[in-house]
Amino acid sequence: MAELEALPGSTRPAEPPPVVELVDVWRSFAGPPPVDALRGVDLRLDRGEYLAIVGPSGSGKSTMLHVLGLLDRPSAGIYRLEGVDVSQMSEAQRSGLRGHRIGFVFQAFHLLPTRSLIDNVLLPLIYQGVPRRGRRDRAVQALERVHLGHRLDANPLTLSGGERQRVAVARALVSEPSLLLADEPTGNLDQRNAAGVLDLFDELHAAGISIAIITHDDAVSRRAQRLVRITDGRVSAG
Ligand code: ADP
Ligand code: MG
């Protein structure tokens, strides 16, 4: 391939960098008592991959989510997001990246109960300063993507739990992030609603979206393409 790239006139595009690359990442809390919640984590997520990160309570999952989502910084080590070292960036740079490049889905859906689905989904675009004219179209597309295009003006309180989580997924996708980061996304759902949300993640994966899902639930992690385990702050292949 190196030779191919050297050929004059070659149009082969450069290999895209991984979406996520953690290199020997530590996250230590001073305490007392002092805790090393992440201990030398190496992790790579390639573009379009669907990764589950599983581990028991206290293993470091939330710490990992906060680091990956740019809500917290490693104490040591490097985090590259799409090839860019974000470990040393200013808070302003990191929060800008967080809004544009990371889509969060949480266990509790965190929808605004007094606003329509479309208002909930276009809210991130208001924060990002996207002009009004483009916002609505993008929110409609995001809601269509989660099969709720026929409920644009519904109130979230009239939806099932599974539908609410699909709205939260639409809101996460409306900024076209590089990484969809989900924290126990089926934790508040019964089996049938959970299955619907997991089917949606399969569809998004098939459409090329990069997904990292943090869970302690085997039924969830089984659906991912690749699994890593986190135990006492260390990551190992599942
Ligand atoms: P999990 O989400 O897998 O349950 P966490 O990432 O929340 O695990 O926690 C991992 C370890 O780090 C635990 O021992 C926890 O007590 C400790 N920890 C997490 N956050 C803090 C904090 N802000 N201050 C001190 N210790 C913390
Ligand atoms: Mg946790």
200: phi then psi, degrees, rounded to nearest 5: -60, -45
In a domain, 168, yes or no: yes
- For the Cβ of 63 lying below 6 angstroms from any atom of ligand 1, the answer is yes
In a domain, 11, yes or no: no
The least confident of 11-15, 203-207, 214-218, 230-234 is: 11-15
Rounded to the nearest integer, the mean pLDDT of the chain is: 92
- For the Cβ of 188 lying below 6 angstroms from any atom of ligand 1, the answer is no
Residues 75-85: tens digit of each pLDDT: 999 999 999 99
C-alpha 90/C-alpha 86 separation (Å) is 9
Residue 218: what pLDDT?
A: 87
| CA of 58 relative to ligand 1 center, distance in Å | 6
CATH number of the domain within which 170 lies:
3.40.50.300
Residue 149: what pLDDT?
A: 96
Residues with CB under 5 A from ligand 2 (ion): 61-62
Nearest to 228 by CA among 58, 44, 47: 44
Instruction: Reply yes or no on whether the pLDDT at 110 is more than 60.
Output: yes
Residue 162: what pLDDT?
A: 94
In a domain, 153, yes or no: yes
Residue 88: what pLDDT?
A: 86
Q: Which ligand is nearest to the CA of 72?
A: 1
In a domain, 2, yes or no: no
Return the residue whose CA atom lies nearest to atom 22 of ligand 1: 29
Full residue range of the structural domain in which residue 227 is found: 20-232
Count the domains in the chain. 1
Return the residue whose CA atom lies nearest to atom 25 of ligand 1: 29
Q: List the Cα angle 181/186/191 in 5-degree steps.
A: 155
Categorize the per-residue pLDDT at 1 as very low, low, confident or very high, splitting at 50, 70 and 90: very low
Instruction: Give percent of the chain above pLDDT 70.
Output: 95
Return the residue whose CA atom lies nearest to atom 13 of ligand 1: 58
In a domain, 25, yes or no: yes
Categorize the per-residue pLDDT at 202 as very low, low, confident or very high, splitting at 50, 70 and 90: very high
Q: Is there a contact between 49 and 228 (Cβ–Cβ < 8 Å)?
A: no
In a domain, 86, yes or no: yes
Residues 210-221: tens digit of each pLDDT: 999 999 888 899
Residue 64: what pLDDT?
A: 96
| CA of 230 relative to ligand 1 center, distance in Å | 13
In a domain, 12, yes or no: no
Return the residue whose CA atom lies nearest to atom 18 of ligand 1: 37
| CA of 12 relative to ligand 2 center, distance in Å | 43
Residues 39-58: tens digit of each pLDDT: 999 999 999 999 999 999 99
In a domain, 83, yes or no: yes
Nearest to 20 by CA among 172, 212, 236, 199: 212
